[in-house]
Amino acid sequence: MSNIQTSIEAFDAVDLIHTKRDLGELSTAQIDWLVDAYTRGYVGDEQMAAMTMAIFLNGMNRREIKDLTMAMINSGERMSFTGLGKPTTDKHSTGGVGDKITLPLMPLVAVFGAAVPQLSGRGLGHTGGTLDKLESIPGWRASLTNEEMFAQLRDHGGVICAAGRGLAPADGKLYALRDITGTVEAIPLIASSIMSKKIAEGTSALVLDVKFGSGAFLKDIDRSRELARTMVALGEDAGVAMSALLTNMNVPLGHAIGNANEVRESVEVLAGGGPADVVELTVALATEMLDLVGITGVDVAVALKDGRAMDKWREVIRAQGGDPDAALPVAKETHVVTALRDGVLVEQQALPFGIGAWRLGAGRARKQDPVQHAAGIDLHAKPGDTVRAGQPLFTLSADEPERFARALEAVEGAYRIGDPGEPIQDGGPLIAERIGR
């Protein structure tokens, strides 16, 4: 007889998989057990992979999604900013091509007395990561302790940093599994993944920038709307003030796609210039973030023009060890693509340009891969612009010129010059809809 004793588990993973596979509903206790058992390794990856596919195919109701989110929050620590003496407000974007909005947005909101605890991530595939962009700045440090983060929020009003490993660790493990099992796009899993980290972060208000279109995570606006509504409901159920903007990602955002070049463009916005679409979205999101914490009647656009947001940017970059005056990396090689005819740029698809920048070295195929901070694409024309034959349309930048061929393959057919009066294929206005109270 064996002397080995094993603990008795409350449920069996196979029974839970059968339930969700057969269109059933998981109880709160079952979801709590499943997340806990997976986090401690009792439920194996192959079992959780079967469960995530069942969820992908059959969905979850609002109560199940809430329970999944709370179980992932409870797998780790929860932060609190109640001692700051100022309201906390944050933003999350579902990611896109040229989306550098966090960089000018954080200092802009902090100017008005709110604290912005912006926990950010790294890029994977065609969507860029905020931390990768900021690490273009010499000396800048992404990893802070909770104590350092709190002190920076207290003293400077804003921080952009990596989430600690103690924040919703179940989500980190589950996301890695979803990434290799074809279940990333499941709305219950996306919503619980994003909101578990944001609720555990402890912010009192959160604005969601949910993208749709060619370069977005979810290309269909109806699916993006469903995701936005699900996440707004999750946040409100947890006592977080919420709103969401559905924003157009059919066309790259701004002119820069990459890392160092996106930092340069963000600094242009903070200096009162920059592309109109980047300015529009930054101002809209800042207004939402401030409204949610009761800071109303302020003109955020003015703070971009008069230098206050730039001063705050320099302050918070220095606080994390960065030198805001240092030269940013420049690529060793460039390749310019020019217009073959006179006309109007009528199409410029986001996804192919994101893939092109990734192939140049601006992104990574695996989480452990490094990025080339100087690699990327700079657009010299946007849809609706009149161009002349021989005029530069965009410039590819890379440290290895052999990367240009595959990047050019990615963008082939992704842009088109038409005749004056021809309809512009840009998917409509930048901000399509607001969701929330």
Largest Cα separation within the chain, whole Å, is 86
Instruction: Examine the residue annotation and report whether 192 is marked as an active-site residue of this protein.
Output: no
Euclidean distance between CA atoms 391 and 384, whole angstroms: 15
Q: Which of 20, 100, 197, 255 is catalytic?
A: 197
Side by side, the strands of the sheet bearing 343-348 are 386-387, 343-348, 415-418
CA–CA distance, 385 with 312 (Å, rounded to integer): 34
Q: What is the DSSP string of 228-287?
A: HHHHHHHHHHTT-EEEEEEEE-SS-SSSEEESHHHHHHHHHHHTT-S-HHHHHHHHHHHH
Q: Give the C-alpha separation, 15 to 11, whole Å.
A: 8
92 included as an active-site residue: yes
The single residue of 67, 171, 291, 426 carrying the catalytic annotation is: 171
Active-site option among 136, 192, 193, 266: 193
Q: Which residues pair with 132 in a beta bridge?
A: none
Report the chain's C-alpha Rg in angstroms: 22
**Inter-residue contact 378 to 397 (CB < 8 Å):** yes
Choice among 20, 178, 312, 373 that is catalytic: 178
Instruction: Output the CA torsion 364→370→374→376 (10° steps).
Output: 0
The single residue of 66, 91, 92, 359 carrying the catalytic annotation is 92
Q: Name the H helices within 330-422.
A: 350-357, 404-411
Q: Is 193 tagged catalytic?
A: yes
**Helix ranges, 74-180 (H):** 102-110, 130-134, 146-156, 169-179
Give me the residues paired with residue 209 across strands: 93, 245
Catalytic residue positions? 92, 171, 178, 193, 197
